[in-house]
């Protein structure tokens, strides 16, 4: 019996060594940088997986011209606001409700590997992370987008992510200065001057990646 | 007097908050991944800044064809070996001695910023890093290569590096699984079957980046 218990413990121990897809904390405040061959952007974001809403405030450059974007994505209402503080104007677009992108590893993701970013030789010198990859069918179904994401082993915090589409090439996102929690829930309120903005019914419904795909339009 | 000491301490304290260019430990063993739009490579490396030598063993893919490289760079002797274990052959090229690339931040580098990769909300969830950037004049002097490097605040361990040349575009290197020290000093001995290999005097002298630049030749 003792041998059996020991074997069971070993088996469970071995299984526990392999990382399993995880889900990030539901409330996060942090920053990210997004880059590909042509553009570079830094954004502050507030993320609420419970009420499915994200606020992005970003500053970036595209072919050496700078731009700023402030976007509020309310997935429950199916609405995205793009806010122009200078002109005090808003654009209100449809957002695909089902496209809320929770910060989690999809169940069908494959593990590329576990590494220590930096070093394990001293305290504060390294970070234990897991990298996952997979594919996403595009709406047309013709080609598949590819992705690869790195999360911390402890806490399931996003560290970096690469996303490939034929149109954009590789887009590299790095996540930093994250704290678990939200500092101001009013970040998810549209500014007062957005009240009364009519929904643009003509535009194609946006999704999470529209912000990045649209970046090139702001040059 | 006490006030003066207090003010001095405060001044030193404030200066201490701003990261200064640092130098990595002289002996490192680790792994790195190198990628740009066209190729992806994983390499194990052993690095000795005291005797100025680096051993690279890498496996990669270029336009979906895989390749392997084993390179030994002996900067003191001004020689680079490229080792083919399958054929038991070696290529011996000249290496620019002065081009040994110490893992350190150049004194003229500019600080882009200090961030916590991931999160500071829990232990093991984040890594405090400094990012530096600068330019390097190319041999022709016509254009300048650009670089950006991230090192840990504690220990000055490399985490990632991007290097831009007009020819290659952005090359992203990520460093991981680093330990301070060298496990086998014989890693820096050329294999026995390399003895007697004659120096290729005709080829242009290689430098640190030749390994990466040459990758495209191994497709």
Do residues B107 and B21 lie in contact, with contact meaning Cβ atoms separated by under 8 Å? yes
Check residue B13 and give its pLDDT.
Answer: 53
Q: Is B68 exposed, middle or buried (0-12, 13-18, 19+ CB in 10 A)?
A: middle
Give me B182's structure tokens: 């060298």
In a 3-state reduction of DSSP, which class is residue A187? helix
Do residues B67 and B84 lie in contact, with contact meaning Cβ atoms separated by under 8 Å? no
Report the distance separating Cα A52 and Cα A58, nearest Å: 20
Residues of chain A with Cβ-Cβ distance to B153 below 8 Å are 124
Subunit contact B154:A117, Cβ cutoff 8 A: no
Report the distance separating Cα A116 and Cα A152, nearest Å: 10
Among B28, B47, B126, most A C-beta atoms within 10 A, so best to mutate, is B126
Q: Which residue ranges of chain A lie beneath pLDDT 70?
A: 1-16, 61-64, 139, 207-219
**How many inter-chain contacts (A to B, CB under 8 Å) are there?**
120
Give me B52's structure tokens: 């100025």
Who's near A193: CB < 8 A, 6+ residues apart? A88, A89, A90
Who's near A109: CB < 8 A, 6+ residues apart? A21, A132, A133, A134, A149
Comparing A7-11, B91-95, B190-194, the range with the smallest average pLDDT is A7-11
In a 3-state reduction of DSSP, which class is residue B218? helix
**Architecture category of domain A21-218 in CATH:** Clam (2.50)
Report the distance separating Cα A111 and Cα A55, nearest Å: 30
Check residue B11 and give its pLDDT.
Answer: 53
Residues of chain A with Cβ-Cβ distance to B175 below 8 Å are 117-118
Phi/psi of residue B33, each to 5°? -120, 140
Q: Beta A199-200 vs A89-94: how paired, if at all? A: parallel
pLDDT digits (tens, 9 = 90+) for B97-114: 777 777 888 888 999 999
Check residue B2 and give its pLDDT.
Answer: 57
Give me A81's structure tokens: 């606001």
- Of residues A143 and B3, which shows the higher confidence score? A143
pLDDT digits (tens, 9 = 90+) for B21-39: 999 999 999 999 988 877 7
In a 3-state reduction of DSSP, which class is residue A135? strand
pLDDT digits (tens, 9 = 90+) for B134-187: 988 876 777 788 899 999 999 999 999 998 888 878 888 999 999 999 999 999
Q: Beta A65-74 vs B39-48: how paired, if at all? A: unpaired
**Residues β-bridged to residue B150:** B131, B160
Mean pLDDT (chain B) is: 84
Q: Is A142 exposed, middle or buried (0-12, 13-18, 19+ CB in 10 A)?
A: exposed
Report the distance separating Cα A124 and Cα A147, nearest Å: 29
Do residues A82 and A71 lie in contact, with contact meaning Cβ atoms separated by under 8 Å? yes
Q: Inform me whether the C-beta atom of residue B181 falls under 8 Å from chain A C-beta atoms.
A: yes
Check residue A149 and give its pLDDT.
Answer: 94
Q: Inform me whether the C-beta atom of residue A158 falls under 8 Å from chain B C-beta atoms.
A: yes
Subunit contact B117:A37, Cβ cutoff 8 A: no
Residue A166 DSSP one-character state: T
Check residue A120 and give its pLDDT.
Answer: 96
Q: Which of B27, B60, B28, B26 is nearest to B43 (CA)?
A: B60
In chain B, % of residues over pLDDT 70 = 84
Give me B180's structure tokens: 């301070």
Subunit contact B178:A119, Cβ cutoff 8 A: yes
Comparing A87-96, B52-61, B184-193, the range with the smallest average pLDDT is B52-61
How far does A129 lie from chain B, in Å, by closest CA? Answer: 9
How far does B106 lie from chain A, in Å, by closest CA? Answer: 19
Report the distance separating Cα B145 and Cα B14, nearest Å: 33
Report the distance separating Cα A43 and Cα A40, nearest Å: 10
Subunit contact A124:B128, Cβ cutoff 8 A: yes
Phi/psi of residue B215, each to 5°? -50, -40
How far does B177 lie from chain A, in Å, by closest CA? Answer: 5
Q: Is A99 exposed, middle or buried (0-12, 13-18, 19+ CB in 10 A)?
A: middle
Q: Inform me whether the C-beta atom of residue B155 falls under 8 Å from chain A C-beta atoms.
A: yes
Do residues B136 and B147 lie in contact, with contact meaning Cβ atoms separated by under 8 Å? yes
Do residues B156 and B143 lie in contact, with contact meaning Cβ atoms separated by under 8 Å? no
CATH of B22-218, one of 2.70.98.10, 3.40.50.970, 1.10.357.140, 2.50.20.30: 2.50.20.30
Residue B205 DSSP one-character state: P
Cα separations in angstroms, A216 against A16, A66, A213, B58? 44, 11, 7, 36
Is pLDDT above 70 for B208? Answer: no
Check residue A137 and give its pLDDT.
Answer: 80
Do residues B73 and B186 lie in contact, with contact meaning Cβ atoms separated by under 8 Å? no
Q: Inform me whether the C-beta atom of residue A176 falls under 8 Å from chain B C-beta atoms.
A: yes
């Amino acid at each position: 019996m003792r041998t059996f218990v020991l074997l069971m413990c070993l088996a469970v121990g071995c299984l526990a060594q392999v990382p399993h897809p995880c889900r990030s904390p539901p409330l996060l405040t942090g920053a990210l940088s997004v880059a590909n061959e042509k553009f570079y952007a830094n954004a502050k974001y507030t993320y609420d997986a419970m009420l499915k809403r994200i606020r992005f405030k970003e500053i970036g450059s595209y072919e050496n011209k700078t731009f700023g974007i402030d976007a509020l994505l309310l997935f429950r209402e199916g609405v995205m606001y793009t806010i122009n503080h200078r002109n005090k104007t808003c654009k209100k677009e449809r957002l695909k409700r089902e496209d809320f992108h929770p910060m989690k590893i999809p169940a069908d993701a494959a593990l590329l590997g576990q590494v220590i970013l930096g070093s394990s030789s001293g305290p504060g010198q390294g970070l234990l992370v897991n990298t996952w990859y997979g594919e996403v069918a595009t709406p047309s179904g013709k080609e598949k987008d590819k992705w690869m994401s790195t999360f911390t082993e402890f806490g399931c915090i996003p560290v970096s992510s690469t996303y490939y589409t034929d149109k954009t090439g590789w887009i590299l996102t790095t996540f930093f200065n994250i704290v678990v929690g939200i500092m101001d829930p009013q970040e998810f309120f549209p500014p007062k001057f957005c009240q009364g903005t009519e929904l643009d019914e003509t535009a194609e419904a946006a999704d999470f990646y529209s912000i990045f795909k649209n970046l090139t339009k702001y040059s």
